[in-house]
């Protein structure tokens, strides 16, 4: 990706991908509901994404990710899942907090750091005795 997107536009791409998986199509009203935003905010974001060739949208029609947009949305969503999985499954952070923090971290984390999180999560899943020891240790420190 040569052009850096704002956190907000990355969130829109991720939301479009998620809503598409859930409902089969995405409309402006779906994004308004997802974010609890006004129509003007959603339309402005869609306009920006369209200008960057990340979505296709005709007035009052469905919103579709372009190939470039779909690829980027999948990368963002993958980061989110890796981080939430680590925070919740390894560190034992409550799921709603892990979701919130994962969504925040996904926009700023370096790819090298993300790979380490992914490897560390895999290590703990493959070594449950280590995971249990870590959880016991983390639980004792409160």
Q: CATH number, domain at 88?
A: 1.10.10.10
The number of folded domains in the chain is 1
| CA–CA separation, 7 and 17 (whole Å) | 16
Among 131, 133, 119, which residue's Cα sits nearest to residue 88? 131
Owning domain of residue 42: 1-142
Stretch 6-16: mean pLDDT: 96
Average pLDDT along the chain: 93
Residue 139 confidence (pLDDT): 84
41-70: per-residue pLDDT in tens? 999 999 999 999 999 998 889 999 999 999
Token digits of residue 33: 């509901």
Q: Is the pLDDT of residue 2 over 80?
A: no
Q: Is the pLDDT of residue 87 over 50?
A: yes
93-123: per-residue pLDDT in tens? 999 999 999 999 999 999 999 999 999 999 9
Token digits of residue 45: 């974001």
| CA–CA separation, 36 and 125 (whole Å) | 36
Its sign, for the CA torsion 21, 125, 111, 34, is positive
């Amino acid at each position: 990706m040569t052009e850096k997107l704002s956190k907000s536009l990355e969130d829109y791409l991720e939301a479009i991908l998620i809503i598409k998986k859930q409902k089969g199509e995405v409309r402006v009203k779906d994004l308004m509901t997802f974010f609890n935003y006004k129509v003007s905010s959603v339309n402005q974001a869609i306009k920006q994404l369209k200008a960057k060739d990340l979505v296709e949208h005709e007035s009052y029609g469905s919103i579709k990710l372009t190939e470039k947009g779909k690829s980027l949305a999948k990368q963002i969503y993958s980061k989110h899942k890796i981080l939430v999985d680590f925070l919740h499954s390894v560190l034992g952070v409550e799921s709603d907090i892990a979701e919130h923090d994962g969504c925040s971290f996904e926009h700023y984390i370096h790819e090298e750091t993300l790979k380490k999180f992914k490897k560390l999560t895999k290590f703990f899943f493959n070594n449950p005795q280590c995971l249990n020891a870590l959880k016991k240790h983390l639980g004792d420190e409160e």
